[in-house]
Amino acid sequence: MMRCPFCLHLDSKVLDSRQTEEGASIRRRRECMACQKRFTTYERLDEMPFLVVKKDGRREAFSRNKILSGMVRACEKRPISAETIEEIVSDIEREVRSGLEREVSSEYIGELVMDKLRELDDVAYVRFASVYRQFKDIDRFIEELQELRKQDK
């Protein structure tokens, strides 16, 4: 059973199922039996726990949703589709999990996100970088913009 994100009804029917390009998950297009709205779900293999080492040394379970929510915030009101964001998050997750280590630093993940956003959209990149790098003042922000401009040339 899959709960409808709109009306929270428990019954839905699958309209279409497809493997994602990399074959690591199945994308299902569903329709709620109560409100008839459509939504997409992804089915993934439940993998071994993977830990992220935070800047202060704490360890926490890897959360795909944290990356997704950060990217959605950075891409808000930009011409970037939800599917594009989802694909990028999948790419990042695949890259992180493909390493031999069971732990990875939050800095490494943040840099991966920034690299992907830099390729995708300058505004989304600067938004994410300003939060991730915790710019202390306008001068640091301007430095980052100038660096971005150099790379575009």
Bridge partners of 42? Answer: 27
Rounded to an integer, the average pLDDT of 106-130 is 91
Distance CA 26, CA 39 (A): 14
Tell me, what's the pLDDT at 48?
66
Q: How far apart are CA 14 and CA 26, in angstroms?
A: 12
Tens of pLDDT, residue by residue over 1-32, are 789 999 999 999 999 999 876 777 899 999 99
Q: State pLDDT tens for residues 46-69.
A: 666 789 999 899 999 999 999 999
pLDDT (mean) for 125-150 = 79
Domain ranges of the chain: 7-46, 47-152
Percent of the chain with pLDDT over 90: 61
pLDDT at 114 exceeding the cut of 80: yes
Note the pLDDT of residue 47: 64
Beta carbons of 129 and 112 less than 8 angstroms apart: no
Across residues 105-131, what is the average pLDDT? 91
